Each structure stands twice: as structure tokens, then as C-alpha cells.
Structure 1
Amino acid sequence: MRILVTNDDGYNAAGIEALVAVLRPLGDLTVVAPETNCSGASNSLTLRRPLSVRQAANGFYFVNGTPSDCVHVALTGLLDFRPDLLVSGINNGANLGEDTLYSGTVAAASEGYLFGVPSLAFSLVQREWQHLDTATQVARELVERFRDHPWQSPLLLNVNIPPVPYRDLKGFRATRLGRRHPSEPVIRSTTPYGESVYWIGPVGRALDGGADTDFGAIEAQAVSMTPLRLDLTDHAQTQTVARWMEAR
């Protein structure tokens, strides 16, 4: 397999280094990742300045842009081949529920999916890389499964891994996205010059965390696998809009 590897934590993050190490025996890997941490970058592309691509001593390519930039540049000019699979991660923290709208990890995978490349996004739910070895083993198992049983058509799969020893995992679940309460209030502070500044507050608690959701799977210490789609159309409301426009 030819595997394109990326992330949003930066090319020198522990998660991508561990991911590459565990996947090397499975295929021909090319790493194209952001130069710096781009958590929360979502699907943004850099349009108002040029992008540079450099190569680190370990062979990783790094781009002075977003995760989506990395994949876009890789698939539209940097690489002279089409990857069989794109793998994004391993992210330092969860991408559950509405997190997927903001996540650079998921955005990088969705950029590959937009180009028709099967794409996996891996996230370790607890920050600070606790039980990173569990996440790498899960990633290897799923990539091996893809190699042995490839999807009939490209999928975008968001995978969240509980921060527990591998032996304590309670299996794998195909899930849907849950929902969170609104985020906590911003945190206000003051600069040494007396100016008010604001930090985005913590994410909210789970609002919809049933057993069939990604939140429910993680609560049960199971790996959550959520297939995503990029059609944001609310098909059930198209007639509502049509009737609203026809109202007199």
C-alpha cells in the first residue's frame, strides 16, 4: 500500500511519530504534515500567501500551513502517485460529536476523502499521550484490516480510542456522532498593558451520549468508529425553505 500520513499537531508530534513507526511495515509511507500545531484549524486552506514544503531529517515533509493545506498540496502536485489510503493522527485529544467540525485531524482526512482517497482519522481521547501504545495498536489493526478487506468505495472514518491499556479495551463499535452541551464561557484575562483578552473556554459536556454514539462507546471503553459524510444539506428542511419563500 501507498499511505499518506498527516496530522494537525505538527510533524514533530509524538502521535504522528508513533503512528509512522507502527505503520511502516504495512506499506510505503509518505508524511506531509503541518510545520506547527494547527489544532482547531478545521478545513481552512491558505489562499493569501504561498506555501513552502520542506523535508526534515527523518524524511517527513512539513508545510507552513494547515492540515488541509498539507493534503491538498500533496494530492495536487507534491506527490507523483495517488495514495491507496490516507491516515491522519494520532491526535492529542478527542474528536467527538461537534469536535469534528473544528478538528484539523478530521479536516485533513476529509480533504483526502474529497479527492476520492479512503481516509482514516485517529484520535486518542485523553491528552498528554496517555496510552499512546493502545492507539498505535488500534491504528495498525484497522489499517491491516483495510489492506485485507478494502472498502468498495472511499469512506471517511473518524476513530476515537479510549485512554486505557489495550487489554482493557471493550472492542470496536460502529457509532454515530453524539452531541455536546454548548461550550463553557470564554476565559477573560488582562495583558500587562491593561488590555482585555479572551481564551476560548472548555468544551461542553455530552448532551447526547447514548450507547450508539461515539461518546457512549468511549464511556464503555470501546473504540469508536464513526463514518462521516460531507454533504451538509438538511434534506428534510428543503421543502420548509421552499414553502417559506412561497408564503404571501
Structure 2
Amino acid sequence: MKQILLTNDDGFDALGLKALIEALTPLAKIIVVAPAKNKSACGHSLTLDKPLRMDCVADDYYKIDDGTPTDCVFISLNNLFKENYKPDLIISGINIGANMGEDITYSGTAAAAMEAVLQGVPSIAISQVCKDRCQEIKNGWDFALAKETIFTIVKQIFEKEFPLPRRRFLNINIPPIKPQDCRGIKITKAGYREYGNDTHRHYSPRGEEFYWIGLHPLIWQASNDKNCDFEAIKANYVSITPVMLDLTSYDDMKKLDNWLKKEN
């Protein structure tokens, strides 16, 4: 039987994770290792300054106390699986909120998928885009389109093969609509996100100053070919973006070399 390791950055008891378990249980044995609490926007961080405890919540279900999604993948691969054996797939999500454009670099959800492919395991990050700051999730959103999409993608992977080479993962974003309103799946590039300054200054009862970083609206730069993740979601498509971990700007290597020689 195939094995899938699940994690997320919303915490071990998140609704999106439970929806992911429900969607994939018919396809494989599910093992869950997730943070004990919300770790949104923690990026690809690994905990090095303190020990971490992995607690068993239920059969094949664990939480890591104050661990990041990267910790969850790293620790589970090196402790829950036999030597020279790894899960067939690692999936991170279903995140509550979008992970598109440069938000991928902040995302704990995407970071877990990054760690998976660094460890040689094919991976997927999946996120549920929300309206009104995820109010619909609080009102009982059923993740129907996300569950249908991930089931279809994973089934195809198991029947064929993972479609990307090493050190690359699939980043899936689901529009906030019902399945019957979805226009299909688009393969997209990561768009250019525009950021504001949603930082709030407050004072404690003792007069100490502190800051709270808020949520930025989903604003992006329009692309000429109208084929970025933001535009696909706006048009009611599921967005699937292939993401690579090689951050080298190859187009600038020659330019930089010439600049350096000129300066010298």
C-alpha cells in the first residue's frame, strides 16, 4: 500500500488537515506529523536552539511541540520510517489562506514541501484561497473542491508518476468556490505580489510598545500573458504552479560577471 506523509502550518487539529486526511484515506496509508500550534508564515525554518518533543495523538498521528512544518518533515523522515525507506508522497495543507506569488517564500505550507523534495520525496503544497479573511472557513466551509482536486492529482501520480524532476514540487491553490463553479485546472507561474504596510502599533497596560503584523490584501501585478496564479484564481480556476528550489538568476550571471570585470 502507498504511504503519504501529511503536515501543515495551521496546526495538528486544523480543519484543512482533517479534510486532507478524509480526501486521501481511500488512496493510501496516511501518517500525520504536524505542528502543535499555528506556524503560519514561518518560512523554511528549522529549529536548532532547543529540543523538540513529538507526541502521539492517535495511531499514525503526531504533533511536534512548537515545531515548524520543516521540523515535522525532517524529524518524521528520520525517525518514523525505516532506513532506506521513505513515504511515496508528502503533502502539506490544506492551508487556510492563499500561498501565491512571493508568499511562497513566507509560507510554512510551501516550506514543508520544499523540505520534502530536499529529502528526495515528491511533494505537494495545497492551499484554500479565502474571501473575507477566511470567514467562510469559520462558517463551515467543506473544502469540497480542494478535496476533489487533491484526490484527482494524487490518484494520477500513483497511476503514472510524479510529473516533476528532483527538487521541485507542486504548489496548488484552490479558488473559494464550489466544485460546480470551477472552470478547470490551469498550470500557472507564480505572480508578482504587491505588499502594503499592515503593521499596527499598540501599548501594553504598562506602557510598553509592541507591534502586530496584519494580513495584506491579495493584490498583484497583472502579467502580459494572464497566466499567473492570482489571475487563475480570480477566473475561478484551480492553480497549479511547478516550483523549483534553485534560486539562481541565470539570466544575470553573465551580466554580473561583466559588471565585476568592468569595476576591476
TM superposition score category, shorter chain reference: over 0.9
Aligned match for 1:118, one of 113, 119, 122? 122
Q: Which amino acid aligns with 1:78?
A: L
Partner of 2:212: 199
CA distance, structure 1, for counterparts of residue 258 and residue 250 of structure 2: 14
Partner of 1:217: 232
Partner of 1:35: 36
Which digits, 9 at most, give the CA deviation of each residue in 1:22-59, with x for residues without a partner? 21110111111111110001100001111111110364
Matched length = 248
Matches within 5 A, 1:86-165: 86-126=90-130, 127-128=134-135, 129=137, 130-151=141-162, 153-154=165-166, 155-165=168-178
Cα distance change on mapping 1:222 and 1:10 into 2, 3 Å: same
CA distance, structure 1, for counterparts of residue 126 and residue 151 of structure 2: 11
Task: Kindly state the Cα deviation for residue 118 of structure 1 after the two structures are TM-superposed.
Answer: 0.9
CA distance, structure 2, for counterparts of residue 107 and residue 72 of structure 1: 11
Matches within 5 A, 1:161-200: 161-200=174-213
Gaps of 5+ in 1: none
CA distance, structure 2, for counterparts of residue 239 and residue 77 of structure 1: 44
Over the aligned positions, Cα root-mean-square deviation in angstroms equals: 1.6
3-state SS of paired residue (1:189): strand
3-state SS of paired residue (1:25): coil
2:30, 2:60 within 8 Å by CA — same for their partners in 1? no
Q: Which amino acid aligns with 1:163?
A: P
1:131, 1:163 within 8 Å by CA — same for their partners in 2? no
- Confirm or deny that 1:208 pairs with 2:222: yes
Partner of 2:244: 229
3-state SS of paired residue (2:58): coil
Q: Which amino acid aligns with 1:157?
A: L
3-state SS of paired residue (1:26): coil
Partner of 1:245: 260
Identical aligned pairs, as a percentage?
40
1:182, 1:203 within 8 Å by CA — same for their partners in 2? yes
CA distance, structure 1, for counterparts of residue 252 and residue 122 of structure 2: 30
Task: Kindly state the Cα deviation for residue 72 of structure 1 after the two structures are TM-superposed.
Answer: 0.6
Which digits, 9 at most, give the CA deviation of each residue in 1:40-83, with x for residues without a partner? 01100001111111110364111121000000111123322311
Gaps of 5+ in 2: none
TM-score by length of 1: 0.94
